[in-house]
Amino acid sequence: MARIELRNVVKRYGSFTGVRRMDLDIADEEFLVLLGPSGCGKTTTMRMIAGLEEPSEGEVVIGGEVVNEVDARDRDVAMVFQGYALYPNMSIYENIRFPLRMRGIGKSDQDALIRRAAEMVELGDFLDRKPGALSGGQRQRAALARAVVRQPQVFLMDEPLSNLDAKLRSSMRVQIKHLQRQLRITTVYVTHDQIEAMTLADRIVIMEKGVIRQIGTPDEIYSDPADTFVAGFIGAPPMNLVEGKAENGRFTAPGLVAACPPDISGRITLGVRPEDCRVVTDGPAELAGAVYGVEPTGETTYLTLRTGETLFEVKAARDARFDLGAPVKICFDPERIYFFDTETGVRLRAQPQRSAA
Amino acid sequence: MEKRRKSKGDNLVLRYLVLGSWALFCLVPILWFLSIGFRPRTEIITPEPIYWPTFSLDAWRLLLADWPIFDYLRNSVVAVTGSVVIDLILGIPAAYSLTRYEYRGRDDIGFYILSTRMMAPAIVAIPIFFLFRNMGLLDSVWALMLIYAAVNLSIVVWIIRSYMLDIPKELEDAARTDGAGDLRILWEIIIPACLPGIITASVIAAIFAINEFLFTLLIASTKSAYTMSVALANFTGGSDGVIYNAIALVSFLAFLPILVLIVLIQKHLSRGLTMGAVKG
Amino acid sequence: MAVLDQTGGVARAAPDRARPREKALRRRSSALRRAFPYLLVAPAVIYLLGITLYPGAYAIYQSFYLVRFTEWIPVGFDNYVELWSDSEFWQALLNTLIIGGIALALECVIAMALAFFAYRDALIRVWRIVFLMPMLFMPSAVAFVWKLAFNDGRVISDLLRKIGLIDGNLDFLGNVWLARSTLIVADLWQWTPFLFIIFVAALQSQDQEVEEAARLDGASWPAIFWNVSLPMIRPVIAVAVVLRGIDITTMFTNVFILTKGTPGGTTETISYFIYRQGFQTFNFGYASAAAVVMLVVTILAAQLVVKRAFRSGKA
């Protein structure tokens, strides 16, 4: 129901710049995730959309209207907070009713809307309780119901799941995505958890130090990272990044030799994901190292190798067993090796048209 | 091997000796006080102190007959309650402003408010006396109400401020995006959430107001403004000298409601007494 | 999740009714926005200025006059000059420091000792209420109890005689140190609880794990208290002592009822000095000059000590 645009938005706090020159276009009904480490400006960006912070420069546009001067209360956005932000002195029913009351929605209509919203998050039986009497997951669902009840133009979610335990988090994730698809309300979601970002987003915006590093679908972000920051941030365990030298189509680093496009040379960082490596017993291999650690997760086994000064992680077979210190050889998937300029971190592409950008 | 006690250096005898003797030091004067209140006037000032007096309701009779106790009580209640109401009306918005907004001069304003707590009553006593005289407010309960409110306003602001600081900012952001304006957020979200702080501040302000002495002494001169606190001091005039049993009785009666109030806010007491600087 | 699908369809139908948003978006006035926090704090500040700035200015103004009933005669700095050479004024200042200093030091030590023994005790709730009680009595009434005990009723003398420390009666108003000690004891009895309550709360709310770690390291309780607990609650101690210190230097009620400054002005505090000059000898200009001096000291103390204590206390 609403498209959101940020045009040239800057946010400064005194001499510190929280967000620098940001342009962002969020389509109607899109689920957009702002992802980045803490302090990267993602929450500030969301708060500017909400109207809780004013941009120092630039324009925030919601539904075609510049809303810089419009107070948060009049923007028709609903927000879900990390700490739930339920009003402690009100029952859950009263909490969900609050935004309706503030918007002057007739008493006769309120009850049906509240019950419907509570049903959507399966909280129908808890309406009389105070927030203090609910569990973390229930509280978060109450906060969702409060956001959903008035059918806003925009949903804003600020790390809504990070106070929940891991199991609850994944079930809430599904629920949030389902709700968003069902209500088809433009949603901006802030998180530092890349799994959340990958699973929820239509598009992900990766930010660092107030700057957008890459915008793309989860698949693009994963398989076509724009720089070492994105490459290292996405994926668990993250992509291996090894600094070395490239010359005449050969990349070399201590314990590592790999083929690289002939037009790449100089100080280069090679990147390869643990899942794109293979342990080999003989034959040619890119990397040789000694076993440093073995971590079976049940589903698979992660193997950490030491080559020279660096640690290198590899996804091995589920039943793979290694002795500490044993020599191991690793082969890379040639289609899935990335090269970056060590100096700038920027991705170097031999054949620009190859990947799905 | 020697079996050690669980906590080393923990001498229980010493501990209870110290705590017990201080408890005695606290309680004996109170009990003695009580015994003064219920003894005949003839057994108060004697060549040898009397430790086991005859029980008597002399003081009661004196209070009810000769002493306009209900006037004093009414004055105390009106002046104290009124002052607390003024403090809350002025103090809650001020505390809200000091906690929830960023603006130039905020910290200086906050410190100015705090620093009025440091002002000795004697410094301003004379000007205040003249001020009220010129306004025709001498010997008036309203003057007392105004002055008590002023004396305690800094305490009220700082205590409430401390509790407001504990309310997560998110709560306010949520209310704002839900469509509430500043005053409504204050009224519907912030005030309910810091109610313990408001109650603590009120109780402490009330106790200080009940006990206020110097200003009351200057402003009140007849039973139309005498509060309990100063009326006691004037229980000394006349040919009878100090009427100790009446004083003891009255102050014991005043002690009981204060004790109840304090027990009610016990958990918040240290925070209140330090104007919010200590979270107990 | 089947439930969600069912209700979802219904909810989709509602939005148009739920949102009357056809009117233009309300723009906020930035001037009002900026002024709003000032407007909230202004009434309190104006009210306080009324009892600080106005009286302060009035006192300064009055301190340059000789006030005789309704007649005001300008005398320039005479009041201050006289004050400077007035031994009674210096005596009052000294008395305030001596009586206040001794009482404050004793209260601190006693309150800390009591807190040390009480805060881990099973009966802590009992101790708290019992120790608190003296603070809840009206100070003026308490002053009378002590007056009766020390002077009029001679109870203290009698008790001391019974345990054989003295013979005859002590005249508590006739001796400098006896008179001062009555004020100190009275203050001690009523206000040690103030510090005790705060110290205990601070000790109880400190991080237990640190103490436990020290215990596992083999430290004794006194050692833990001295080396671990005490340093941790130092900011709290600072705030409490500063607040108590301020109140003690404005001591008036006890002096007014118990000693009236006797003997020979050795128990007269600054507050009582100002009161006596103003309301007993009606020398208002002179009293105001003394008040101005006290005001200056207060402002200095507030800037230097209180600000720092409260800054660190908030941590």
Interface test with A, best of B100, B178, B189 (most A CBs within 10 A): B178
Question: Does A354 reside within a domain?
Answer: no
Residues of A in contact with B102 (CB under 8 A): none
Task: Quote the minimal CA–CA distance from C230 to chain B in Å.
Answer: 15
Question: Does A315 reside within a domain?
Answer: yes
Write down the pLDDT at residue B63. 77
Percent of chain C's residues with pLDDT above 90: 38
Interchain pair C11, A103: CB under 8 A: no
Tell me the C-alpha to C-alpha distance, in Å, between residue C228 and each of A186, B15, C119, C233, C254: 54, 20, 15, 9, 38
Interchain pair C19, A74: CB under 8 A: no
pLDDT-based confidence at residue B246 (cuts at 50, 70, 90): confident
Interface test with B, best of A62, A70, A80, A87 (most B CBs within 10 A): A87
A203-208/A31-35 β-pairing = parallel
Residue of B44, B103, B122 with shortest CB distance to C37: B103
Question: Does A233 reside within a domain?
Answer: no
Angle at C199 (CA atoms; ends B99, B10), nearest 5 degrees: 145
Residues C49, B153: Cα–Cα separation, whole Å: 12
Residue of A47, A74, A85 with shortest CB distance to B174: A85
Left, alpha or beta for A59 (phi > 0: left; psi -120 to 50: alpha)?
beta
Task: Report chain B's terminal Cα–Cα distance, integer Å.
Answer: 42
- Residue C121 DSSP label: S
Q: Where are the domains of chain B?
A: 12-59, 68-273
Interchain pair B178, A89: CB under 8 A: no
Task: Quote the minimal CA–CA distance from A182 to chain B in Å.
Answer: 22
Considering the domain architecture, whether residues A245 and A320 belong to the same structural domain is answered as: yes
Task: Quote the minimal CA–CA distance from C272 to chain A in Å.
Answer: 49
pLDDT-based confidence at residue B236 (cuts at 50, 70, 90): low
Considering the domain architecture, whether residues A22 and A96 belong to the same structural domain is answered as: yes
Residue A310 exposed, middle or buried by CB count within 10 Å (0-12, 13-18, 19+)? middle
- Residue A75 DSSP label: S
Nearest C-alpha neighbor of B229 from the set B247, B241, B213: B213
Structure tokens at B42: 């003839």
Structure tokens at A202: 């239509």
Residue of chain C whose alpha carbon sits nearest to that of B274: C240
Considering the domain architecture, whether residues A211 and A248 belong to the same structural domain is answered as: no
Task: Quote the minimal CA–CA distance from A116 to chain C in Å.
Answer: 7
- Residue A205 DSSP label: E
Residue of chain B whose alpha carbon sits nearest to that of A146: B178
Write down the pLDDT at residue C31. 80
Residues C238, C137: Cα–Cα separation, whole Å: 26
CB within 8 Å of B130: residues ≥ 6 apart: C58
Residues of A in contact with B168 (CB under 8 A): 83, 85
Interchain pair C270, B120: CB under 8 A: yes
A186-191/A31-35 β-pairing = parallel
In this predicted model, what pLDDT tens digit does every residue of A76-110 receive, in sequence order?
A: 999 999 999 999 999 999 999 999 999 888 888 89
Contact assessment for residue A179 and residue A144, using Cβ atoms and an 8 Å cutoff = yes
Considering the domain architecture, whether residues A216 and A290 belong to the same structural domain is answered as: no
Residues of C in contact with B210 (CB under 8 A): 138
B9 pLDDT more than 60: no
Considering the domain architecture, whether residues A42 and A188 belong to the same structural domain is answered as: yes
pLDDT-based confidence at residue B237 (cuts at 50, 70, 90): low
The enclosing domain of A147 has a CATH number of: 3.40.50.300
Residues of A in contact with C7 (CB under 8 A): 116, 119-120
In this predicted model, what pLDDT tens digit does every residue of C233-283 receive, in sequence order?
A: 888 898 899 889 988 988 998 998 888 888 888 899 999 999 999 888 888
Residues C171, A329: Cα–Cα separation, whole Å: 100
- pLDDT tens by residue, chain A, 357 residues: 689 999 999 999 988 999 999 999 999 999 999 999 988 999 999 999 999 998 999 999 999 889 998 888 888 999 999 999 999 999 999 999 999 999 888 888 899 999 999 998 888 889 999 999 999 889 999 999 999 998 899 999 999 998 888 888 888 899 999 999 999 999 999 999 999 999 999 999 999 999 999 999 999 999 999 999 999 999 888 999 999 999 888 999 988 889 888 888 899 999 999 999 999 888 788 899 999 999 998 889 999 999 878 899 999 988 888 889 899 999 999 889 999 999 999 998 865 444 443
Interface test with A, best of C1, C4, C32 (most A CBs within 10 A): C4
Considering the domain architecture, whether residues A30 and A57 belong to the same structural domain is answered as: yes
Interface test with C, best of B15, B26, B69, B271 (most C CBs within 10 A): B26
pLDDT-based confidence at residue B240 (cuts at 50, 70, 90): low
- Residue A90 DSSP label: S
Q: Which domain holds residue A164?
A: 4-223
Q: Which CATH superfamily is domain B68-273 in?
A: MetI-like (1.10.3720.10)
Task: Quote the minimal CA–CA distance from A85 to chain B in Å.
Answer: 5
Interface test with C, best of B15, B16, B46, B278 (most C CBs within 10 A): B278
Residues A256, A309: Cα–Cα separation, whole Å: 12
Residue of A1, A74, A100 with shortest CB distance to C25: A74
Class of domain C78-313: mainly alpha
Interchain pair B8, C153: CB under 8 A: no
Provide the domain count of chain A: 2
Task: Quote the minimal CA–CA distance from A241 to chain C in Å.
Answer: 41
Placement of tokens 């110097």 in the chain = B214
Interchain pair C140, B213: CB under 8 A: yes
Q: Which amino acid makes up residue B90?
A: L
Please name the chains neighbouring C, where neighbouring means 3+ C-beta pairs under 8 angstroms. Answer: A, B
Residue of chain A whose alpha carbon sits nearest to that of C8: A182
Q: How far is CA B6 from the centre of its chain?
A: 42
Interchain pair B177, A51: CB under 8 A: yes
Considering the domain architecture, whether residues A176 and A47 belong to the same structural domain is answered as: yes
In this predicted model, what pLDDT tens digit does every residue of B73-82 receive, in sequence order?
A: 899 999 999 9
Residues C226, B179: Cα–Cα separation, whole Å: 53
Residues of C in contact with B123 (CB under 8 A): 55-56, 59, 274, 291, 294-295, 298
Residue of A65, A75, A120 with shortest CB distance to C11: A120
Residues of A in contact with B175 (CB under 8 A): 87, 98
Considering the domain architecture, whether residues A245 and A152 belong to the same structural domain is answered as: no
Residues of B in contact with C198 (CB under 8 A): 270, 273-274, 278, 280
HEC assignment per residue over chain B:
CCCCCCCCCCCHHHHHHHHHHHHHHHHHHHHHHHHHHCCCHHHCCCCCCCCCCCCCCHHHHHHHHHCCHHHHHHHHHHHHHHHHHHHHHHHHHHHHHHHHCCCCCHHHHHHHHHHHHHCCHHHHHHHHHHHHHHCCCCCCHHHHHHHHHHHHHHHHHHHHHHHHHCCCHHHHHHHHHCCCCHHHHHHHHHHHHCHHHHHHHHHHHHHHHHHCCHHHHHHCCCCCCCCHHHHHHCCCCCCCCCCHHHHHHHHHHHHHHHHHHHHHCHHHHHHHHCCCCCCC
Domain boundary among A174, A190, A223: A223
Q: How many CB atoms lie within 10 A of CB C58?
A: 18
Residue of chain A whose alpha carbon sits nearest to that of B169: A85
Interchain pair C189, B96: CB under 8 A: no
Q: Where are the domains of chain C?
A: 78-313
Nearest C-alpha neighbor of B226 from the set B120, B68, B117, B118: B68
Structure tokens at A307: 């080559």
Interchain pair B174, A81: CB under 8 A: yes
Please name the chains neighbouring B, where neighbouring means 3+ C-beta pairs under 8 angstroms. Answer: A, C
Residues of C in contact with A175 (CB under 8 A): 1, 4
Interface test with A, best of C6, C19, C30, C33 (most A CBs within 10 A): C19
